[in-house]
């Protein structure tokens, strides 16, 4: 790798930031009782910031003393949605000066589920893809613990290969918990539509026609609303429409729920939305659904804000952008003489292991401050060069989602999977046979148990710049801090990255939801090329480090908001074995 620009710099704060001492103290982080995270009110976080501000890396030339630059202000005030519930306790949290309202979860709340689900006799879970298995099993187990007689029934299309897997999970035709898709919809009071986004777009009319009047449609993604909006349509007026959207893939939702049997409250956070409420029950039903899934905390959003942030996030740091940056950096490192195995470790293993674990438990500032002086300089070089190239693609991607272009792209791609109009079928191929991913197989085959990989400063700088750029785009677009942090940080480091560490990025790209797989294939090359053509060229040309960017990173209020969100869940590292299976049934080679 070419040497970073020869420069010398120090980040200093203005006198108005006197609370952050410029003197370095020995850091012995005071861990909160619920998570290994620094408390924002403790001297430890101040010391972390002091350490960030006070370093001075010298090479050639005089040090650049940079003025304090305020963290970028949002164009819109972050969304803060209030709600009323007669069943659960609503709590206020303050995130970077903005009040938001949440409901904390926990197994001790399962006893409230019969009240939350009043009037519901059957919950129909439609589909057995990423979310279906996890949500169905969690709901069934929670309702059983609550001694409720509500039936959780799986609805699948005739001939689906998923019937065998549903039976293996304990759902059967004999006990009335497994059946035909449309029969299940017709007999359910709450219909959780968890089929793929493309399938929802093609089948929504039939789904609506089979729903009982005054029943409730539950979604775990706002995609269908975006599709209906693009057609100038809306949901039927004789049903309620709610959403509960776990901020993690289905296997994470199930695995952490199971772990939560040992540690109360373990799980994946979720957002909820009430789009249409015809009888006043919608909010309590949505919150009951989220609590039953094991969500440590549930925050409010709108269906529109959810699909914008979620589809955007999949194409950004959750999958597409990570896919793009590791391809770019692997090529970079090997071209500069690094062995293939070491290059893979310094890209994929570094991000999905060491970086993710550190951000999950201590935050981005702790990651940065764990580096020595030279490492900080390399981090700053990568961060400075990569931030705007990443933001450029993220900004474009968000607008494509918000205007409906990305949703139309997904729907049309789904229709190309089968023969139409005399043209052949074009299903998605796999990416896992290229050089980088074959190297990854060898690395994982010899990796010691529990090995989180190295902490490579250049890779860390690129990855954190991507994370901060995504945070800033969502902030500028007016999303709540709860939504920003869950979509940009928690879902990444606590849900997807641990699975990618176990099985590889290519495995995730080849086996996750159709919408995410399509998004990664479309947007990963954009991130790859922009980093290669802009960021890495800037490094090679020894362009100076953008000190304003570095100061903004250190001082950004999002660090404190992340810490608050982190304290709302216990310390539970997601347990992912090397053979972790999250392949959707329709993608399997064997026919069930």
What contacts 412, CB < 8 A, 6 or more positions away? none
The reply to whether 86 sits in an annotated binding site is: no
Given a contact cutoff of 8 angstroms between Cβ atoms, the answer to whether 356 and 498 are in contact is: yes
How far apart, in whole angstroms, are the C-alpha atoms of residue 525 and residue 351? 18
Q: Is 91 annotated as a binding residue?
A: no
Distance CA 522, CA 451 (A): 32
Is 491 flagged in the annotation as binding? Answer: yes
Query: DSSP 3-state assignment of 240?
Result: strand
φ, ψ for residue 481, nearest 5 deg: -65, -35
- Of 520, 517, 522, 426, which is closest to residue 197 (Cα–Cα)? 517
Q: What positions carry a catalytic annotation?
A: 221
Which of these, 466, 308, 309, lies nearest to 392 by C-alpha position? 466
Token pair listed for 584:
């959707």
CA–CA dist 408, 232 (Å, integer): 13
Do the annotations mark residue 487 as ligand-binding?
yes
The three-state (H, E, C) secondary structure of 32-82, written as one string: CCCCCCECCCCHHHHHHHHHHHHCEECCCCCCEEECCCCCCCCCCCCCCCC
What is d(CA 579, CA 305) in angstroms, rounded to the nearest whole number?
35
173: Cβ contacts below 8 Å, ≥ 6 apart? 179
Distance CA 78, CA 480 (A): 5
CB-count burial class (<10 Å; 0-12, 13-18, 19+) for 433: exposed
* 572 Cβ neighbours under 8 A, 6+ residues apart: 256, 259, 260, 263, 266
Show the tokens assigned to 106. 């926990």
- DSSP H helices, 362-513, are 364-369, 373-402, 405-415, 435-445, 457-476, 481-485, 491, 497-503, 505-511
- Whether residue 173 is annotated as binding a ligand: the answer is no
Interatomic CA distance for residues 117 and 115, integer angstroms: 5
Bridge-partner residues for 324, per DSSP? none
Q: Which residues are annotated as a binding site for substrate?
A: 513
Which residues carry a binding-site annotation for Mg(2+)?
A: 310, 314, 487, 491
Going by the annotation, the residues of the binding site are 310, 314, 487, 491, 513
């Amino acid at each position: 790798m070419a040497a970073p620009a020869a420069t010398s710099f120090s980040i200093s704060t203005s006198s108005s930031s006197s609370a952050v001492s410029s003197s370095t103290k020995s850091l012995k982080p005071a861990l909160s009782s619920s998570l290994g995270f620094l408390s924002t009110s403790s001297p430890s976080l101040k010391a972390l910031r002091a350490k960030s501000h006070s370093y001075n890396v010298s090479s050639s030339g005089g040090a650049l003393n940079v003025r304090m630059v305020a963290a970028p202000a949002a164009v819109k005030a972050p969304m803060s949605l209030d709600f009323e519930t007669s069943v659960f306790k609503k709590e206020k949290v303050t995130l970077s000066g903005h009040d938001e309202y949440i409901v904390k979860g926990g197994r001790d709340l399962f006893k409230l589920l019969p009240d939350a689900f009043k009037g519901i006799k059957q919950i129909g879970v439609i589909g057995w893809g990423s979310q279906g298995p996890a949500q169905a099993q969690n709901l069934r187990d929670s309702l059983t613990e609550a001694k409720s007689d509500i039936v959780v029934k799986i609805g699948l299309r005739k001939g689906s290969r998923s019937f065998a897997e549903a039976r293996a999970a304990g759902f059967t035709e004999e006990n009335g918990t497994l059946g035909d898709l449309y029969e299940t919809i017709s007999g359910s009071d709450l219909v959780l539509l968890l089929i793929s986004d493309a399938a929802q777009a093609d089948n929504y009319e039939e789904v609506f026609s089979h729903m009982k009047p005054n029943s409730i449609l539950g979604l775990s993604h706002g995609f269908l609303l975006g599709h209906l909006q693009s057609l100038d349509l809306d949901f039927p007026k004789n049903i309620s429409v709610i959403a509960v959207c776990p901020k993690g893939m289905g296997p994470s939702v199930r695995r952490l729920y199971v772990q939560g049997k040992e540690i109360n409250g373990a799980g994946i956070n979720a957002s909820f939305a009430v789009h249409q409420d015809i009888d006043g029950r919608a909010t309590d039903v949505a919150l009951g659904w989220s609590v039953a899934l094991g969500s440590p905390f549930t925050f409010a959003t709108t269906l529109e804000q959810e699909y914008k942030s979620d589809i955007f996030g999949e194409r950004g740091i959750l999958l597409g952008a990570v896919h793009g940056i590791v391809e770019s950096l692997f090529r970079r490192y090997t071209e500069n003489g690094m062995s293939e195995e070491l290059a893979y470790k310094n890209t994929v293993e570094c991000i999905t292991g060491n970086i993710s674990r550190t951000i999950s438990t201590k935050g981005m500032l702790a990651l940065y401050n764990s580096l020595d002086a030279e490492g900080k300089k390399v981090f700053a070089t990568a961060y400075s060069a990569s931030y705007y190239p990443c933001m450029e693609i993220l900004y474009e991607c968000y607008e494509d989602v918000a205007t409906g272009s990305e949703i139309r792209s997904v729907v049309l791609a789904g229709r190309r999977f089968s023969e139409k109009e005399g043209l052949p079928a074009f299903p998605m191929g796999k990416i896992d046979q290229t050089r980088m991913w074959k190297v990854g197989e060898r690395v994982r085959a010899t990796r010691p148990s529990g090995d989180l990989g190295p902490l490579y400063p250049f890779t860390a700088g690129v990855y954190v710049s991507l994370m901060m750029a995504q945070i800033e785009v969502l902030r500028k677009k007016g999303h709540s801090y709860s939504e920003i942090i869950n979509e940009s940080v928690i879902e990444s480091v606590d849900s997807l990255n641990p699975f990618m560490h176990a099985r590889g990025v290519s495995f995730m790209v080849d086996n996750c939801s159709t919408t995410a797989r399509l998004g990664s294939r479309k947007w990963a090359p954009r991130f790859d090329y922009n980093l290669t053509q802009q960021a890495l060229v800037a490094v090679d040309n020894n362009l100076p480090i953008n000190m304003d960017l570095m100061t903004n990173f250190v001082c950004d209020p999002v660090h404190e908001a992340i810490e608050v969100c982190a304290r709302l869940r216990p310390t539970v590292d997601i347990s992912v074995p090397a053979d972790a299976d999250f392949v959707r049934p329709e993608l399997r080679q064997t026919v069930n």
